[in-house]
Each structure stands twice: as C-alpha cells, then as structure tokens.
Structure 1
Amino acid sequence: MTGKLAPPRKKNPQLRQRVPTLPPQARSRAALGLTAAAARGAFELQHCAECGTVQYPPRDACAACLSVDLLWRATARDGQIIAETRIHASPDSYYRERLPWRAGLVRLAAGPTVLAHLHGEVGRGDRVRMDLKLDKAGQGVMIALPQQRTPDMADDDVLRTLTAHPKHRRVLITDLRAPVTRPLIEALLKAGAAHVFVGEAESWRRGSDHASIAGLDKVSVLPLDVTDATSLKKLAAEIGGKTDILINTARHVRPGGVLGADTVFAREEFETNALGLMRLAQAFGPAMAGRTADGVNSAVAFVNILSVHALSADPHYGAFSASQAAALSISQTLRAEFRASGLRMINVFSGPTDDEWHQPLPPPKVAPKALASCVVEALCEGLEDAFCGDVAKDLEERWRRDPKVLERELQGGGA
C-alpha cells in the first residue's frame, strides 16, 4: 500500500535546489496520438482497419498486414505485468534526479505488450489497469495502476509526477464573485490543498460572498483584478513564489450577436476573458515555471475555465464566443511557452453555466458545484483538456467529427 504523503518541510534556502528538467521528449508523428489521448483522459491505441490488429508502439503501417489505415480507438485497459525492472542509473538528467525508477512490460488484454511506468502498489504477475498520462515534457506515457483504487493511491511518487494533484499545494483562484468559487474552494480543500488564495476585484462593491469566504479556514482573500496589470504585479510579488496552482475563474459575459452589439461590452469581454489571462500569465507564470521541481509542493498547473463555444461560436453570444476563442489561442501559446519548465496548462471547457447571463437558455446547464468537481478532477488526472457538462461533451464530439457541420448546426442549419 502507498504511504500517506507527508506535508513538505519548510524549505532551507541554503540547500541545493532542484532545477526544472524534462524527460526525453522526442516523438514520432504517429506517437503523438498517445499524447492527444492522454491530454483528454482517454486510453486509445491504433487499430488496423483491415485486419483489426492493435498496434504498439504507434507506427505508420500495420505490423501484421502492412495496411496504412490505422485508426485511434478506445482500447480495453486491462493487462498483466509480465516483467519489471528498477532503474538505478541513468544518463538522463531528469531520471538521474529521481532514481530509483520502476518500469515494466505489460501484456494488454487487447493483444500487444507495452512498456509502462509502474505504480508502487503493483508488481510482476499482477493484473493492472492501464492509463495514459502526460509526463513533464507533455508527452503521452503509460502507467500501470492497481485495478481497484486504494485510499492513498494518488500519493505514489510516480503518479504524482504525472498529475497536478492539489494535495499539500497552494492554490490561487482569481475571482471571488464567480459562482464556481465557493464550491471550488471546498473541493480543493477536500482534495488536500494546503491553502487557497482568492482574488477579489473592487472589494467596495456589495453583493459578494466576501465575509463567509474570508472566514474559512486555510483561505485568504486578496485584492486582484485581471484587468489591472499593476494589481497583478503587486499580488505576484507577494504570493507568486507560493502559488502552486492558479485557477482563472474571472470572466465577463454578455448575450447578443455582433451586428447589434455594444462594443463597450465586447471590449470588457476581451479585457477580462482574453487579455486578463495574458496578464495573469505574465505576472505569475515566470515564478511558477521556476518552481516546477520544488518537491512535494512544486508548482504544477495553470488552469483556465472556458466556454465550449471557444471551439465553435454560439451566434447568440457572439462577442463572448470570440473572446473565448481568443483565450483558447492564448492558452495554447502559453502551453508551448510553459513546456520547457513542465508547468501544465489546463483548459476546462464548460457548457452553459447556471448563472444570470444564461437564464434564457433551457437545461441542461452546468451547476457551479459540478464545474468545481470537473476542475479538481482535471488536476487529479493531469489532463490538458477537460469537458464539463452534457452540452460541452456533445459539442466536443460533434466538433471532432466535423467542425463545419457543427458550425452550421449552431447557426440553425441542422438538428
């Protein structure tokens, strides 16, 4: 059984500090299919359309019949460890800092034998459940997990390096007034977060949940305005070196298309939803990127909550959809810039949320508590893209199938 993860000791600045390094990241184009599946929490392998053979490692032609018609499909996760080894020496700088490291061969029920990292609770001969995770280099790797979840399974050293679990980490949530903030605080603390910082803009305004949130144990409310670079720089100077996970909940929503839209509201949407994300990254990103190898409470993730209409616009929320598409593009750029440090950029795509600006829309809508659960699950699983709610999952599936067809459907040109 995995032992409980102990809280980190106070850091001694006189001791040697671990510098962020990355595991080997070279991959073939075919192998990036593993990365794409891991990013959204799927377990997929190539299946030959001609003879049905499941492929591993990923390749350009079937190992059995040489067909090039290989399709990525969901694959059974069951397997059995047939060999294991413990690596005690490595020329690679990433693994040299983390030895010994266990790896093994797993024969999948689907057919192929795969090379995988091993969870501490499994060994040779064990039946296991396979999973695809993103490593620090952002590439898909396999890990063999116990078939049944155990109480402290997430505390395993190897699994923790492949996720962004909030246990013993300090989290910054950017907007106290967002409906998701209170349930998100509760979910993070339940998951073991050490402390939650909550940003509040224009604290003089009435109607916020300031008093009850500020009174919570392990929670601090601090001034933060994503539209004010000075506010962000000041707060980053105070807690930037303590922030392990940043969750951007700030957003500005107004219904309406583009032709008749008030550009003042549209400008506010872009200032908050797109440029606000950019300012947050500029203020907190460098300090977080420098602490990705900082032990138990290392910096691990930058989370942005987006509307699923960042993928394909909702004409009834035209300017808002455009600001979400801009934010998605910014987050993809940030993902590339954070790559060298191993800091994970997570996008949580939500369907219409249960708030005042989506009142005219019929159900199903995403409740704040459900959205909070999706965010924490994305952290615990180490995802890059998570989709929350029935609408978001449906639109993602249709978008993957054919973006142009989805565009026409959203414009009223299809069922």
Structure 2
Amino acid sequence: MIDPVQPPRRKNPLLRTRLPASPPRPRSRTSHGFTRAAAEGRFVLQRCEACGAFAYPAREACPACLSAGLSFVDAPRRGVLLAETTARVPSDVYFRERAPWRIGLVKMDCGPTMVAHLHADCVEGAPVVMSFQLDKSGQAVAFARPEGETPNMADDRQWREMTADPKFRRVLVTNGRSVIGQEAVAALKAAGAKTVFVGVAEPWRPFAGEQLLRGQQGVEVVTLDASDEKSAADLAADIGGKVDILVNTTEYVRPGGLLDRRGTSIARDEIDQAYLGFVNLAQAFGPAMRMRGADGVSSSAAWVNILSVHALANWPAFGAYSASQAACLSLSHCLRAELRPGGVKVMNLFTGPVDTEWFQTVPPPKVAPRAVAQAIVSALRGGLEEIYVGDVAEEIRQRLAANPKALERELDK
C-alpha cells in the first residue's frame, strides 16, 4: 500500500536546491510514434499490415514475417507482470538520485513483452494496465499500473515523476477576470493545490466573480497584467520561486480577419495580450521554474497554455485571433524545448469556441468553461502535452490528420 503524499515542509533557504537531471533521452526516429501517443494519452503499438502481429519496441520490419508494413495503431492495454526488479544503485544520475526504482517485464495480452516502469502496487503475476508516459526528458516510456484502483494510487513516487499532479503544489492562474480562469481556480483547489495565485490586471476595477475568488481559502489574488513586461517581472520577483504550475489563461478574442478591419489597432491588442503576454510570462517565470524541476514534492512541474484549436487551422471568421493563437502555439514549442532541461512539461490545451460573450453568435457546439478547467486538471494528473477539449477541437484534429486542404476549404464558409 502506498503512503499518501504529505504536504512539503517549509523550505530551509540556507539549503541548496537540487539541480534537475534528465533520464536518458536518445530515441530512434521510429520510436517517436510512442512519443506522440504519450503526449495525447493514447496507448499504441506497431502492427504488421501483412500478418496482423503487434510489435514492440519500435522496428523497421515485422519480427514475425519481416514485412516492412508496420503502422502505429491503438492497442489493448492489459498485460501480466512476469517479473520485477528494483534498481538500488543505478549508474544514471537521474535514477541514482531517485533510487530505489522498480522496473519489470510485462507480457501483453496482444503479444509483445515490454520492459516498463512499475507502480508500487504492481504485484508479480498479477494483471496490469499499460500506458505510455512522457518522462522528464520528454520521451515516451512504458509504465505499468495495477488493473484495479488502489488506495492513494496517484501518490506513487514513480508515477508522480511522470505527471504534474497539482496536489500540494502552488499554481499561478494568469487571468482571474476570465471565466475560464475562475473555473480553473476552483478545479485546481478541488484537486488539492496548496495555493492558487490569481493574476488580475487593474485590481481596483471590479469584475464578475471577484468576491467568490477572494473568499476562497488558499486563493491569493495578485496584480498581474501579462501584456506589461514590468508587471510580470514584479510579480515574478515576489512569487517566482514559489510557482510550481503556471496556467496561462490570458485571452483576447475579437471577431474578424483582415479585409473587414481598418487599421492595426485590434491586431496589435491581440498580439500584445496573447503573444507578447506569453513572452513576458515566459521570461519572468520560466528561468525559476526550470531551476526548480527537482525540488522535492513541490518541484515546478508544468506550464499550461489554453489555445484555440484554430491555431492549427485558421478560421476566417476569427482570422486574426486564430493567427495570434498560431503564434502562441509556435512559441510554446520553443518554451517546451527550453524548459525540458528542468523537467518541466509544457501542455497545450486546444478548445473549440468557448461558451463566453465573444463567441455569443457562434452556433453550438461550444465548450463550457468548467469543462476546460476539468481538462486542465486531468491533463496535469495524466502528464499529457496535447489535449483537445470539445467536439469542435476533436473534429478538427481528426480532419487535419485526414485532409488538411479539405478542412481549410470547409472553414471558409
């Protein structure tokens, strides 16, 4: 049985912060099929198009019939733990600091045998459920958990290394004026976050939901205007060393594309709020988060961006807004690479039109702000990188994979 995670003790400022280390990173190009699946929370294996056999690890030819026709497909997750061992003095720096570390051999019901990291409640000879998780180096690794729920299952030490569970962590939500931001605060507190800092620009100006925010225990309203470089830097100087998870809820939604607008004032506002706001937040909070990636139970763990799915495919009705979101998506890839040495995950949560005032005239289906907040918590607990929330986002993801040009034409209506 796993002991529940305890709230971290107050840190001694005289003690040195442990520097983050990364597990081995090299992978073959073919094996990044598992990386893509892990980022989305899927479990895939290669399957031979000729004989139908599943294969693992990633190969160029089927081990059964030598056919080169191997494709990644969703696969059954169930298997049996054949054997397990505990590495007590690993040679790798990352695992040495976290020893003892359990690994085991799992025989999958669909055929292959996999070497996997083990949840503490896995028992030799018992059924397990497999998943691919992104480790601290951003690479996919196999992880085995018990088939049924066990007490304190999410508190397993090795599992927490693969995820960014908000339990007992301190979170910054960058825009408390937005409905999504307020729902995110409630969801994160319900998930066990120790403290939620809520950024509010011009706090002297009242807004809907303010009293509810200020009345919650463990919620601290702070002054933050993401579009103002000094505001972000001042807040980071105050709480930058305390932020374990940053949820970027900054938004600026306006309809229109290029030809129906006059001038660039709205476009500048979109860039200032979304893109440059992202830049200001990253430069202010990113360095400290990267340095605290191995700081015990309350180490920095994740940066979450809430983006429109039209960052992937421009929606002309909101064309300029889609372009600003695409810029943020590209910037998130840069941030992910720069935070990776610290083991901090960068998660992008893609939504369709949200049920807020600026999408009032857009017909259903829309995404409820509460659904976005719940997806944030779910993604943190699962250690994901790419999350699609709502029917529109999921449909665009599938149609992009099938025929990007058809999607481009159909959005132009």
User: TM-score by structure 1 length?
Assistant: 0.97
Q: 1: distance between equivalents of 2:135 and 2:99? A: 16
* Residue 214 of structure 1, CA deviation: 1.2
* 2:260 counterpart residue number: 260
Question: Secondary structure in 2 aligned to 1:316?
Answer: helix
* 1:62 counterpart residue number: 62
Percentage identity across paired residues of the two chains: 51
Structure 2 residue identity aligned to 1:338 = L
* 1:382 counterpart residue number: 383
Structure 1 residue identity aligned to 2:9 = R
1:379–1:364: structure 2 CA closer, same or farther, 3 Å change rule? same
CA deviations 1:353-386 (Å, max 9, x no partner) are 0001101111111111111001111101000010
* 2:102 counterpart residue number: 102
Q: 1: distance between equivalents of 2:144 and 2:349? A: 26
* Residue 261 of structure 1, CA deviation: 2.0
Q: 1: distance between equivalents of 2:199 and 2:25? A: 36
Structure 1 residue identity aligned to 2:391 = D
Q: 2: distance between equivalents of 1:207 and 1:118? A: 48
Q: Which moved more, 1:15-24 or 1:383-392?
A: 15-24
Question: Secondary structure in 1 aligned to 2:265?
Answer: helix
Tell whether the 8 Å contact from 1:198 to 1:220 is kept in structure 2 after alignment.
Answer: yes
* 2:31 counterpart residue number: 31
* 1:363 counterpart residue number: 364
Q: 2: distance between equivalents of 1:115 and 1:245? A: 31
Q: 2: distance between equivalents of 1:16 and 1:98? A: 17
Tell whether the 8 Å contact from 1:176 to 1:208 is kept in structure 2 after alignment.
Answer: no
2:305 equivalent to 1:304: yes
* 1:231 counterpart residue number: 231
Tell whether the 8 Å contact from 1:8 to 1:296 is kept in structure 2 after alignment.
Answer: yes
* Residue 300 of structure 1, CA deviation: 0.4
CA deviations 1:183-204 (Å, max 9, x no partner) are 2111111111000000001223
Tell whether the 8 Å contact from 2:353 to 2:367 is kept in structure 1 after alignment.
Answer: yes
Aligned ranges 1:2-151 → 2 under 5 Å: 2-151=2-151
User: TM-score by structure 2 length?
Assistant: 0.98
Q: 1: distance between equivalents of 2:318 and 2:150? A: 44
Tell whether the 8 Å contact from 2:303 to 2:347 is kept in structure 1 after alignment.
Answer: yes
Structure 1 residue identity aligned to 2:314 = A
Structure 2 residue identity aligned to 1:320 = Y
Q: 2: distance between equivalents of 1:252 and 1:13? A: 39
* 2:330 counterpart residue number: 329
Tell whether the 8 Å contact from 2:121 to 2:150 is kept in structure 1 after alignment.
Answer: no
Q: 1: distance between equivalents of 2:166 and 2:31? A: 29
Structure 2 residue identity aligned to 1:408 = R
Unaligned runs of 5+ in 2: none
How many equivalent pairs are there? Answer: 412
* 2:207 counterpart residue number: 207
* Residue 336 of structure 1, CA deviation: 1.0
2:160 equivalent to 1:195: no
CA deviations 1:242-279 (Å, max 9, x no partner) are 00000000110001121112421111111111111111
Structure 1 residue identity aligned to 2:42 = A
* Residue 16 of structure 1, CA deviation: 4.5
Q: 2: distance between equivalents of 1:69 and 1:409? A: 33
Tell whether the 8 Å contact from 1:20 to 1:290 is kept in structure 2 after alignment.
Answer: yes
Tell whether the 8 Å contact from 2:17 to 2:292 is kept in structure 1 after alignment.
Answer: no
Q: 2: distance between equivalents of 1:279 and 1:367? A: 28
Q: 2: distance between equivalents of 1:133 and 1:196? A: 26
Q: 2: distance between equivalents of 1:206 and 1:18? A: 42
Question: Secondary structure in 2 aligned to 1:339?
Answer: helix
Q: 1: distance between equivalents of 2:402 and 2:3? A: 44
Q: 1: distance between equivalents of 2:305 and 2:342? A: 18
Tell whether the 8 Å contact from 2:310 to 2:326 is kept in structure 1 after alignment.
Answer: yes
